[in-house]
A and B are shown apart, each in its own frame.
Chain A
């Protein structure tokens, strides 16, 4: 019964490259915020890196990824170009959204990132529409929509899973269960034993995996993507993980028991994967160090680009409200 199919060595290294890029980006953003370079709330995905890294290697550039305000990991994994990405975080005119979206709403259509929402649960119904268009146009595009465990308690989750099931849409619902909805522990906000259990109510497969295990996560994504591409309909994946830096940067996670946090940090998935890759003989320390150094160099170049970029002109307030030339 157990699935022993392993990703190739190249795939494993790509997952690691992405995961470590996310970790490095997160660390660097926090430095920029603390240095006063970014004036924005920031929702760190530290601890959740392996989920999108292992999903994205199963996706094509034309596939869609929908995510949330805690979404830089999903965006980096989908391949958003670093310079306009960083510029957007900094609110600059050269950002993917001309500085009009900001850290909570980074989109990049050319990378297959059409919607990033700041509203819990709102991405799921929209993902259905993206998937409906693919189904109607006969493309083999799949749509992955990411959300947290908290979002599984909002109405939009239930409406969306039901519609996706009825319409047999090529959509993959990925619940990144980091155990806390804002400050409230899973057990205090969610009646179901697992989020994956909720799938049965909609007649779709529900899969629970260790989202901090690259191979398990990769297999779950591979199966869900294959199912969606084959026209067999949606899958709900519950990827169990943990959030190291609170709901919002600056929140001290006082509501998380110290032992729980210590245990999670000790199992930090990125260094754990690094050690595993070396231990399994997939890569040497120097190979991984080279990947990390290349990431840092590329990212620093993006930070320099962003910091040197201008802010949007105030006249941008009147642009993009409606189509150019139309009356607002």
Chain B
């Protein structure tokens, strides 16, 4: 490990580094979104700080509040050979641009018989915990993962955010890159600059033999904390960070499940029809006779994200709820 790799940075900085490095490397990389240029503050979370100063306001464009126009311009730019990175400030705002994302970005390669492709990234952030209520904090990754042609990525650490974002930018297909608001400010190991992390590769965060815990994004940190608690009781949990949701590294999940026989999937999106359901279905198909317990799922309540603090706290998959699911699965 180089010395830079031992430095601590947070995810907002990691994303900023990735954007700087990608723009430096390839002049077809362009960035657009609301308030992203330096004159407008370099992005509400500063992820795009310094880009317009360095690369100019031709390649780094602040936009009106117009998500269809933003994603549409990214689609058109990508068709014409650019590698646009569009920032949609919050994940709920992607709903305004769903036609461009689902009917166009995702499908144009196929619908043109491979004549075109759409190498764009939509960076967006979300996550409960800031009292933003029902329209600013949803996890909608299952919607996108359900759409053929889209890649969906949700890093949990600064180093993964950096390496995965670089991979998304230089991937030849559209990627939805899901950031988490609270994680922006949480420090972690700094990435090795220039090093990409392949899409579709999960990371075994810790090895274990009694149970497999699958997660991603912010909830991963709750899962890791839960696993630490279990270790004190002599329970050995294997923790997998999916990192990419689509493509899904199911091989890693299956191998772990085959070893432990017990699986809990935890994510901040609501449980019903979610990523956990997909994993559970695949595991039950491949390992029906091998599993020692049904695959358990932990996620948000089936309600809009609530405002009031006690409700918001109970809404997300807390460490306690994750532990309860683990204990039930171990029983």
Chain A residues with CB under 8 Å of chain B are 64, 95-101, 105, 107-109, 114-115, 117-119, 122, 124-137, 143, 155-156, 159-160, 162-163, 166-167, 319-323, 326-328
The answer to whether B115 and A126 have CB atoms under 8 Å apart is no
Contact between A320 and B103 (Cβ–Cβ < 8 Å)? Answer: no
Are B66's CB and A320's CB within 8 A?
A: no
> Is B77 a contact of A130 with CB atoms below 8 Å?
yes
Contact residue among A105, A137, A323 (Cβ-Cβ distance under 8 Å from B173): A323
Name which of B105-113, B288-296, B305-313 contacts chain A.
B105-113
Residues of chain B whose beta carbon lies under 8 Å from any beta carbon of chain A: 30, 58-59, 61, 63-64, 66, 68-69, 71-82, 84, 99-100, 103-104, 108-117, 148-149, 151, 171-173, 200, 246-247
Contact: A163 with B73, CB < 8 Å? yes
Q: Known interface pairs A126-B104, A323-B173. Does A163 touch B110 (Cβ–Cβ under 8 Å)?
A: no
Contact A322 B173 (CB under 8 A): yes
Q: Which of B30, B76, B149 contacts A131 (CB 8 A)?
A: B76
Q: How far does the Cβ of A221 sit from chain B's closest Cβ, in whole Å? A: 21
Q: B117 contacts which chain A residues (CB < 8 A)?
A: 323
Q: Which residue of B lies closest to A106 (CB)?
A: B112
Given contacts A159-B72, A321-B109, 8 further A-B contacts (CB under 8 A): A97-B112, A107-B111, A126-B100, A129-B84, A130-B76, A323-B171, A323-B173, A326-B247
Say whether B100 contacts A159, CB under 8 Å. Answer: no
Q: Are A163 and B64 in contact (CB under 8 A)?
A: yes
Residues in A whose Cβ lies below 8 Å from that of B72: 122, 124-126, 128-129, 156, 159-160
Residue of A nearest to B81 (CB): A133
Q: Pick from A107, A126, A156: contact of B76, CB below 8 A.
A: A126
A100 contact set on B, CB distance < 8 A: 110-113
Query: Across the interface, which residues of A come within 8 angstroms of B111, CB to CB?
Result: 97, 100-101, 105, 107
Q: Are the CB atoms of A160 and B69 closer together than 8 Å? A: yes
The residue on B at minimum CB distance from A135 is B58
Question: Given A130-B77, A322-B173, A323-B172, A163 and B115 touching (CB < 8 A)?
Answer: no
Chain B contacts of A114 at CB under 8 A?
79-80, 112, 115-116
Complex contact B73–A125 (CB within 8 A): yes
Instruction: Verify B75–A125 contact, CB threshold 8 A.
Output: yes
Bound together, the chains give a CA A125 to CA B247 distance in angstroms of 28
Closest A residue to B109 by beta carbon equals A320
A252 to B: closest C-beta gap in Å: 29
Give A130 to B77 CA distance when docked, in angstroms: 5
Is there an interface contact between B73 and A129, defined as CB atoms closer than 8 Å?
yes
CA distance A316 to B78 in the complex (A): 24
Minimum distance in angstroms from B35 CB to a CB of chain A: 14
Q: Which chain B residue lies CB-closest to A131?
A: B76
Asked if residues B79 and A115 are in contact (CB atoms below 8 Å), the reply is yes
A319 touches B103 (CB 8 A): no
How far does the alpha carbon of A99 sit from the alpha carbon of B76 in the complex, in Å? 23
Query: Quick one: which of A117, A163, A323, A326 contacts B66, CB cutoff 8 A?
Result: A163
In whole angstroms, what is the CA distance A115 to B76 when docked?
9
Instruction: Report whether B113 and A136 are in contact in the complex, using a CB–CB cutoff of 8 Å.
Output: no
21 contacts between A and B (CB under 8 A): A97-B111, A99-B113, A115-B79, A122-B104, A125-B69, A126-B72, A126-B79, A126-B104, A127-B76, A129-B75, A129-B76, A133-B81, A133-B82, A134-B80, A136-B82, A156-B72, A159-B69, A167-B61, A320-B113, A326-B173, A327-B247
* Bound-state Cα–Cα, A100 to B115, Å: 11
- A107 vs B111: C-alpha distance in the bound complex, in angstroms? 9
Closest 7 pairs between A and B when the two form their complex, measured CB to CB? A125-B72, A129-B76, A98-B113, A133-B80, A327-B247, A97-B113, A159-B69
Separation of A269 and B307 alpha carbons in the complex (Å): 61
- Tell whether, in the assembled complex, residue A109 and residue B112 are in contact, meaning their CB atoms are under 8 Å apart: yes
> Which A residues lie within 8 Å of B103 (CB)?
117-119, 122
Q: Which of B64, B103, B111, B114 counts the most A-chain CB atoms under 10 A from its CB?
A: B111
